[in-house]
């Protein structure tokens, strides 16, 4: 039974690693979009376009913060599971 549990935990850790990698890719993509949305210093945009762009930047910042927090949370959970698995394996 213990071996089955260890295999199941190893599978979960691998899945979490994949999720973390995908979340990190999402963070990178959101950061790139954020940079692309930022107005250039010499851009002459209409007030309506500037308002739309500012709203988009605000939403992008919020999405980027959420994605970053998810990466940190997933990483913390992964480390905790690994530590718990190591402790239970030595008992």
Domain layout of the chain by residue ranges: 2-90
Q: Smallest Cα–Cα separation from 71: which of 29, 19, 32? A: 19
pLDDT tops 80 at residue 58: yes
pTM recorded for the entire structure: 0.55
What integer is the mean pLDDT of 10-34?
75
- Of 9-18, 34-43, 64-73, the range with the lowest mean pLDDT is 9-18
With beta carbons less than 8 A apart as the criterion, state whether 74 and 23 touch.
Answer: yes
39: left (phi over 0), alpha (psi -120 to 50) or beta: beta
What integer is the mean pLDDT of 57-67?
86
Pick the CATH number of 2-90 from 3.10.20, 1.10.287, 1.20.58, 1.10.10: 1.10.287
Token code pair at residue 10: 């190893």
Token code pair at residue 35: 């940079």
- pLDDT tier at 1, thresholds 50, 70, 90: very low
Q: Smallest Cα–Cα separation from 74: which of 7, 15, 8? A: 15
Token code pair at residue 42: 């010499």
What integer is the mean pLDDT of 82-86?
85
């Amino acid at each position: 039974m213990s071996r089955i549990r260890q295999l199941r935990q190893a599978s979960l850790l691998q899945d979490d690693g994949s999720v973390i990698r995908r979340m990190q890719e999402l963070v990178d993509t959101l950061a790139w979009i954020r940079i692309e949305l930022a107005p250039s210093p010499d851009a002459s945009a209409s007030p309506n376009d500037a308002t739309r762009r500012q709203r988009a930047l605000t939403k992008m910042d919020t999405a980027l913060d959420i994605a970053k927090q998810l990466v940190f949370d997933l990483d913390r959970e992964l480390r905790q599971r690994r530590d718990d698995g190591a402790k239970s394996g030595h008992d």
